């Protein structure tokens, strides 16, 4: 189980995440919503270790991981896909994914065997590429892929890490409408396995509504609402947080 | 078979393959094809600098580390052998002691610099290595009792490597089979093995992580690789190979001094070799080293010929004066970087696709 306790980070006097306590259960998909600047991505960065908390704790299965650096958290099962595409630009799509598979194999410090000799890593990477329907583009250099494919590759890297906790930061941002279902199907499939914890930051309210078991609302760094999708989306506090009373932004609206 | 030796890293360009075969075969038959002390010396220098440039490519081209301390490790390896041969006499045990001592010092120093400073940004790391390398060069020249100061050390090589040693009676293709020939093939074989080892390292799972770090250190960390560990190990391997290259130079030339091993000029040379040849390709370092050592040794002669041919023409004769060879090397470098931004190897490979 992943939990944050009174998690806070300050940049100067500004608290970007302010005393957020929240626990995330395996088998549930929790959406974290809130207006731009609410601290959603910063909250993610605190959990996956890209930023160090000013105060508060992050716990994973009871273990205090607040002091751990990002690589260690990743190896402990915290997998993160990034909002801004964050690939290895001049390596092939396959190599991007293979590198993620390699982390778990522990072969990273193997200096004298041939990379291409480890067929099992390559085969597994191909499976993950196929899962995001990128198998045909395996040899393409990541930077040359269209934006939508880069987003899918980002998801494939997360799958390849085989984490216990999946953190998706706006996985469909900038994707064309017909590409969105591929990613949503993947998230639904992970959810269907029932043992994974999924955290999703997403602006498209129809996506949030259809996938979430629970919605957490951040506003100005604070946790302001937490509950079942139907309750939270229609609550006053969410209407207020979003655009000062207007309805939440919808993908179709 | 070839795939295994080259660790799956094929040239991927016909012209590159031809060039590499020419270099490997050419250096193998150089003593017989181009007899004479100077050409043998150039061939040995090419071997040593191929190793040195290739080890620098591991840092610069594969890991994205900008270090100016690479000649320091080269010097440590050279001085290790030189000091051991001076102190312990011209024996093979002295050579072994010198090589091992040089390796230990080089790797320890690289690990220390790495762990303390590889966390900082590229430019600051470059500055730190520059400072350490300068301090080391000064230290070497200020300890004349140990290093011979500015003059360096002159020492005798083990008997089997001296010109007076005769391998077999008589000659082969008109070349005397003496100790210098033994020495040359020792340098050649060691260089070949070291380059192939480096090629294996960059094509290993470890090497793939180095390239990931070069491409995006932030993401490499995020998926679970501790970049500082990988960078430090890469620095240590590069330092060890550079030290071995230095040991080979010391074993070849029977003299070691700051100018030939520690100077900043050499640092600039290997930087040029890697950039001209093509960063992050290993083969680029090989081509770059061959071209640059060749140019340094024969450009002057070439200009001498041009100068004589243009003897009557007022301005041009001066322009092609042998003393202007550095100017022409500079021009060649600028043209190279301008027209082949991905280096010779990068350009050759792109032609095909």
Q: How many CA atoms lie within 13 A of B341 on its CB side?
A: 1
pTM across the whole model: 0.92
Partner residue opposite B224 with nearest CB, options A74, A87, A109 = A74
Is the CB of residue A171 less than 8 Å from the CB of residue A155? Answer: yes
pLDDT, one tens digit per residue, over B237-262 is 999 999 999 999 999 999 999 999 99
Could you tell me if A36 lies within 8 Å of chain B, comparing CB atoms? no
How many CA atoms are closer than 13 Å to the CA of B335, on its beta-carbon side?
6
CB of B2 less than 8 A from some CB of A: no
Q: How confident is the model at residue A251, as a pLDDT?
A: 41
Percentages helix, strand, coil for chain A (3-state, rounded to 5) are 40, 25, 35
B261: tokens are: 């091993």
Distance between CA atoms of B150 and B298, rounded to whole angstroms?
27
Which of B8, B220, B230 faces A116 most closely, judged by CB atoms?
B8
Query: B212 to chain A nearest CA, in Å?
Result: 6
Q: What is the pLDDT along chain A (253 residues), one digit of tens a residue?
A: 899 999 999 998 899 999 999 999 999 999 999 888 899 999 999 999 999 999 999 999 999 999 999 999 999 999 999 988 799 999 999 999 999 999 989 999 999 999 999 999 999 999 999 999 999 999 999 999 999 999 999 999 999 999 999 999 999 888 888 889 989 999 999 999 889 999 999 888 888 888 999 999 999 999 999 999 988 888 877 777 665 544 444 444 3
In whole angstroms, what is the distance from residue B130 CA to residue A129 CA?
Answer: 44
Topology adopted by domain A1-77+163-225+238-245: Rossmann fold (3.40.50)
Give the ipTM.
0.90
CA-wise closest residue to A86 among A156, A190, A15, A2: A156
**Cβ–Cβ gap B222/A70 under 8 Å:** yes
Closest residue in chain A to residue B210, using alpha carbons only: A108
Q: Where in chain A is the domain with CATH 3.40.50.300?
A: 1-77+163-225+238-245
Rounded Cα gap, residues A153 and A157, in angstroms: 6
Do A114 and B203 meet the contact criterion of CB atoms below 8 Å apart?
Answer: yes
Beta strands in chain B, from DSSP E residues, in sequence order: 153-154, 166-172, 175-178, 255-256
Residues sharing a CB contact under 8 Å with residue A187, sequence separation 6 or more, in sequence order:
A29, A166, A168, A171, A198, A200, A211
In order of start, what are the domains of chain B with their CATH numbers? 15-28+42-352 (1.10.3470)
pLDDT band at residue B128 using 50, 70 and 90 as cut-offs: very high
């Amino acid at each position: 189980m992943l939990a944050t306790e009174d998690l806070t980070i300050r940049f100067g006097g500004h608290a970007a995440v302010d005393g957020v306590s929240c626990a995330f259960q395996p088998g549930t998909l929790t959406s974290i919503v809130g207006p731009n600047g609410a601290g959603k991505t910063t909250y993610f960065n605190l959990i996956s270790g890209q930023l160090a908390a000013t105060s508060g704790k992050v716990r994973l299965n009871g273990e205090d991981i607040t002091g751990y650096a990002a690589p260690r958290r990743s190896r402990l099962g915290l997998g993160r896909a990034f909002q801004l595409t964050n690939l290895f630009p001049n390596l092939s799509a396959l190599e991007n994914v293979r590198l993620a598979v390699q982390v778990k194999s522990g072969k990273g410090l193997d200096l004298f065997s041939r990379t291409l000799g480890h067929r099992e890593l390559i085969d597994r990477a191909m499976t993950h590429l196929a899962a995001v329907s990128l198998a045909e583009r395996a040899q393409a250099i990541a930077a040359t892929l269209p934006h939508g494919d880069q987003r899918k590759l980002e998801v494939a890297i997360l799958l390849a890490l085989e984490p216990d906790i999946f953190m998706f930061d706006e996985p469909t941002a900038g994707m064309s409408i017909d590409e969105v279902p591929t990613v949503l199907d993947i998230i639904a499939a992970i959810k269907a396995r029932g043992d994974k914890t999924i955290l999703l930051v997403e602006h498209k309210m129809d996506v949030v509504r259809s996938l979430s078991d629970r919605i957490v609302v951040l506003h100005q760094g604070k946790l302001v609402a937490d509950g079942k999708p139907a309750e939270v989306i229609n609550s006053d506090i969410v209407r207020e947080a979003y655009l000062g009373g207007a309805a939440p932004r919808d993908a179709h609206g | 078979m070839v795939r295994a030796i080259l660790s799956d890293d094929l040239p991927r360009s016909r012209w590159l393959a031809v060039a590499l075969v020419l270099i490997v075969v050419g250096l193998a038959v150089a003593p017989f094809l181009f007899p004479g002390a100077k050409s043998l010396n150039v061939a040995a220098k090419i071997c040593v600098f191929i190793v040195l440039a290739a080890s620098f490519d591991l840092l610069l081209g594969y890991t994205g580390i900008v270090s100016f301390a690479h000649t320091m490790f080269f010097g440590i390896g050279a001085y290790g052998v030189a000091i051991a041969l001076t102190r312990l006499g011209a024996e093979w045990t002295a050579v072994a002691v010198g090589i091992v001592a040089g390796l230990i010092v080089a790797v320890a120093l690289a690990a220390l610099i790495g762990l303390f400073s590889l966390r900082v940004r590229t430019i600051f790391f470059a500055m730190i290595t520059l400072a350490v390398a300068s301090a080391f060069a000064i230290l070497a020249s200020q300890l004349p009792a140990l290093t011979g100061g500015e003059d360096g050390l002159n020492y005798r090589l083990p008997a089997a490597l001296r010109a007076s040693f005769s391998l077999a009676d008589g000659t082969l293709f008109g070349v005397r089979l003496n100790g210098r020939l033994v020495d040359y093939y020792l340098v050649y074989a060691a260089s070949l093995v070291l380059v192939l080892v480096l090629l294996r390292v960059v094509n290993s799972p470890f090497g793939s992580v180095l390239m990931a770090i070069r491409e995006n250190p932030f993401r490499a960390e995020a998926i679970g690789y501790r970049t500082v560990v990988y960078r430090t190990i890469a620095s240590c391997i590069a330092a060890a190979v550079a030290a071995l290259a230095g040991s080979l130079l010391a074993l070849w030339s029977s003299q070691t001094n700051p100018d030939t091993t520690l100077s900043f000029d050499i640092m600039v040379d290997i930087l040029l070799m890697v950039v001209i040849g093509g960063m992050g390709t290993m083969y680029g370092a090989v081509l770059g080293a061959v071209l640059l050592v060749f140019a340094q040794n024969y450009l002057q002669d070439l200009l001498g010929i041009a100068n004589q041919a243009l003897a009557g023409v007022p301005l041009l004769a001066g322009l092609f004066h042998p003393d202007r060879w550095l100017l022409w090397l500079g021009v060649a470098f600028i043209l190279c970087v301008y027209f082949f931004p991905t280096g010779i190897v990068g350009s050759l490979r792109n032609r095909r696709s």
